[in-house]
């Protein structure tokens, strides 16, 4: 498979829909672009084009689909624009063009163009966990339904902020949000994640005082945040029809463990030693000492993120 701009690259025009999948020795499956790559699922992703010419992509794979490096949440349709790169499997990238005839004026009926190029994978991430303080107390209140409705609004806005800051939201765990930044996509993913943590912490405080979002006047809303950096395995949950992301690795567990050490005295954001080392050029940290973390044999040094340098 050749890189972009070489004579051997392959181009495919499609109209209202094209599906990408692993190669099968069949000729009765129209509208499918088959790739010879064992890491591509039999039904990996589908791209559709609306009547107004806008294109949308939906991941259906085991190994995941990325747009400009950001991993998509399975079975969630998102818009993709001309010039963006779709990464599938271990060997392929597809670049979307808005019109197959570059000399012609844009016309949705002409279809769109996919150019096949190479793919680069990433496994090192900085994980960010945000957890609601005193959540157990909140859900035991008589007005717990109203609180849950308010929390949904808060998490919706936090999710939008993560996406604006180029992160990927892996999941919500009732009282927590889990997001991550992949190292191969940034000059320094730990710095980007720390910036996001500062912005999200500030947004959380603002939402807690916004009556249109957090309309529980006698309850103080507070979130604590933790970051951990290291290698993880990223996969999709499910078989043929993936239903979510699987993010497995010590940084995920560690972030949830050290988050418990964030409080009013330490400050709302704490980080692991690796995150601190990678981000200390841009941020100041305060040493909180060695802390025990469930599931880890050795004590973990924990740092409070004080602010930007």
Task: Express each pLDDT in 196-244 by its tens digit.
Answer: 999 999 999 999 999 899 888 788 889 999 999 999 877 666 544 555 6
pLDDT in the model for residue 26: 54
Partners of 239 in beta bridges: none
Token pair in block for residue 232: 């993880």
Compute the average pLDDT of residues 267-284. Answer: 97
Compute the average pLDDT of residues 37-53. Answer: 85
User: Does the pLDDT of residue 93 top 90, yes or no?
Assistant: no
86-96 CB burial, b ≥16 within 10 A, e <16: bbbbebbbbbb
Instruction: Give the pLDDT band of residue 64 (cuts 50, 70, 90).
Output: confident
Confidence (pTM): 0.64
CATH of 124-308, picked from 3.20.20.70, 3.30.70.1230, 3.30.1300.10, 2.130.10.10, is 3.30.70.1230
Compute the average pLDDT of residues 102-123. Answer: 50
Tell me the CB-side half-sphere exposure of residue 41, using CA atoms within 13 A: 22
Rounded to 10 degrees, the C-alpha dihedral 50/52/53/58 comes to -30
Backbone angles phi, psi at 231, to 5 degrees: -80, 140
pLDDT in the model for residue 69: 84
At 35 the three-state DSSP class reads: strand
Compute the average pLDDT of residues 165-180. Answer: 88
pLDDT in the model for residue 134: 82
List the 55-59 sheet strands across, edge first. 32-35, 17-22, 45-49, 55-59, 78-80
Domain boundary assignment for the chain: 10-117, 124-308
Instruction: Give the pLDDT band of residue 51 (cuts 50, 70, 90).
Output: confident
- Running DSSP on this structure, what letter comes out for residue 71? E
Rounded CA-CA distance 256/236 in Å is: 21
pLDDT digits (tens, 9 = 90+) for 66-82: 898 888 989 999 999 88
User: Does the pLDDT of residue 99 top 70, yes or no?
Assistant: no
Alpha helices in the chain (DSSP H): 135-139, 144-164, 189-208, 250-258, 273-279
pLDDT in the model for residue 100: 43
The number of helices, as runs of H, and strands, as runs of E, in the chain is 5, 20
- Give CA angle at 262 (258, 265), nearest 5°: 145
Smallest Cα–Cα separation from 260: which of 297, 215, 295, 236? 295
Percentage of the chain modeled with pLDDT above 70:
83
- The total number of residues shown for the chain amounts to 309
Across the chain, mean pLDDT equals 83
pLDDT in the model for residue 88: 87
pLDDT digits (tens, 9 = 90+) for 161-171: 999 999 999 88
At 195 the three-state DSSP class reads: helix
Report the CATH fold assignment for 10-117. Tumour Suppressor Smad4 (2.60.200)
Instruction: Give the pLDDT band of residue 105 (cuts 50, 70, 90).
Output: very low
Higher pLDDT, 185 or 162: 162
pLDDT in the model for residue 90: 72
pLDDT digits (tens, 9 = 90+) for 120-145: 344 789 999 999 988 877 777 777 78
């Amino acid at each position: 498979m050749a890189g972009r701009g070489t004579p051997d690259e392959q181009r495919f025009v499609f109209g209202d829909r094209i599906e990408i999948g692993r190669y099968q020795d069949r000729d009765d499956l129209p509208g499918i672009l088959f790739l010879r790559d064992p890491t591509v699922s039999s039904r990996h992703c589908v791209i559709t084009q609306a009547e107004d010419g806008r294109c949308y992509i939906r991941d259906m794979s085991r190994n995941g689909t990325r747009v400009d490096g950001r991993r998509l949440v399975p079975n969630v349709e998102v818009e993709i624009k001309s010039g963006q790169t779709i990464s599938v499997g271990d060997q392929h990238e597809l670049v979307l063009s808005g019109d197959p005839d570059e000399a012609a004026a844009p016309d949705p009926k002409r279809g769109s163009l996919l150019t096949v190029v190479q793919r680069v994978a990433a496994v090192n991430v900085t994980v960010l966990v945000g957890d609601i303080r005193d959540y157990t107390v909140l859900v035991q209140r008589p007005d717990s339904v109203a609180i849950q409705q308010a929390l949904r609004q808060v998490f919706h806005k936090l999710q939008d902020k993560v996406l604006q800051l180029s992160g990927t939201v892996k999941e919500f765990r009732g009282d927590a949000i889990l997001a991550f930044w992949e190292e191969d996509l940034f000059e320094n993913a730990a710095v980007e994640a720390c910036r996001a943590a500062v912005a999200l912490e500030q947004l959380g405080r603002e939402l807690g005082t916004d009556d249109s979002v957090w309309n529980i006047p006698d309850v103080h809303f507070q979130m604590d945040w933790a970051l951990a950096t290291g290698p993880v395995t990223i996969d999709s949950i499910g078989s043929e029809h993936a239903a979510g992301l699987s993010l497995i690795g010590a940084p995920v567990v560690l972030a949830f463990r050290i988050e418990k050490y964030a409080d009013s005295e330490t400050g709302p954001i704490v980080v692991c030693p690796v995150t601190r080392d990678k981000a200390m050029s841009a941020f100041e940290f305060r040493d909180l000492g060695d802390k025990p973390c469930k599931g880890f044999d050795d004590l973990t040094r924990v740092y409070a993120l004080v602010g930007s340098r």
